């Protein structure tokens, strides 16, 4: 999945920087101009380091739970959900299921990446936004990531809906 999701995250980086800079500037009551460079730096760090780290954590979970083999399969709804969650990092070749598993796996990775992004972006921004109250910066980072990750999840859900509805 890293080979599918990482390029998508790089493409989304510029719009996310702008969205998060806008949210952060409103949260800490400053101009977008003062926040755009720190937001760019923080988002570059969280994308280049954080997203692969999230994938690595999911891969570790997959290896621990499946031993590197495929999940339980798709006989029941429960086993389908378990398979989709456990295989979020490295999908088994379930050709007839991949149309929906890819966006679900991407969403699972986004959930893990969200927490890494909040922490890593706060780590960067608390050093770059000198003179700002740290609780306000922390809150701004959290809220800006809620907005950007919600947008990414909604886009993936829309794609999931499209592929499920268009599958014969």
* Burial bucket for residue 122 (CB in 10 Å: 0-12, 13-18, 19+): buried
**Tokens (6 digits) for 140:** 């701004």
The answer as to whether 26 is a domain residue is yes
The answer as to whether 141 is a domain residue is no
**Tokens (6 digits) for 80:** 């389908």
CA angle, residues 72, 159, 116, in degrees to nearest 5: 70
**How many structural domains are present in the chain?**
1
The answer as to whether 34 is a domain residue is yes
Structural domain span for residue 74: 2-136+152-166
Buried b (16+ CB within 10 A) or exposed e, 138-159: bebbbbbbeebbeebbeebeee
Going residue by residue through the chain, which has 168 residues, state the pLDDT in tens, using 9 for 90 and above.
888 888 888 899 999 999 999 999 999 999 999 999 999 999 999 998 888 999 999 999 999 999 988 888 888 988 988 998 899 999 898 888 889 999 999 999 999 999 999 999 999 999 999 999 999 999 999 999 999 999 999 999 999 999 999 987
**pLDDT computed for residue 12 by the predictor:** 93
Number of neighbours of residue 95 by Cβ within 10 angstroms: 7
The answer as to whether 142 is a domain residue is no
The answer as to whether 143 is a domain residue is no
What is the widest separation between alpha-carbon atoms in the chain? 57
The answer as to whether 130 is a domain residue is yes
**Tokens (6 digits) for 125:** 């921004």
The answer as to whether 144 is a domain residue is no
Map 33-77 to HEC letters.
Answer: HHHHHHHHHHHHHHHHHHHHHHHHHHHHHHHHHHCCCCCCCCCCH
**pLDDT computed for residue 161 by the predictor:** 95
Report the C-alpha gap between 37 and 21 in whole angstroms: 9
**Tokens (6 digits) for 146:** 């809620």
């Amino acid at each position: 999945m890293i080979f599918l999701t990482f390029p998508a995250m790089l493409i989304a980086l510029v719009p996310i920087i702008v969205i998060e800079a806008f949210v952060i500037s409103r949260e800490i009551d400053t101009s977008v101009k003062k926040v755009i460079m720190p937001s760019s730096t923080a988002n570059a760090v969280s994308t280049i380091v954080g997203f692969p780290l999230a994938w690595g954590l999911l891969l570790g979970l997959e290896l621990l739970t499946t031993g590197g083999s495929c999940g339980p399969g798709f006989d029941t709804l429960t086993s389908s959900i378990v398979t989709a969650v456990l295989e979020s990092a490295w999908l088994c070749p379930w050709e007839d299921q991949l149309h929906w598993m890819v966006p679900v796996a991407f969403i699972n990775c986004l959930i893990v990446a969200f927490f890494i992004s909040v922490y890593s972006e706060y780590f960067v921004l608390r050093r770059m936004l000198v003179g700002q109250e740290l609780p306000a910066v922390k809150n701004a980072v959290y809220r800006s990531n809620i907005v950007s990750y919600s947008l990414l999840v909604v886009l993936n859900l829309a794609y999931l809906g499209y592929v499920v509805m268009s599958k014969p």
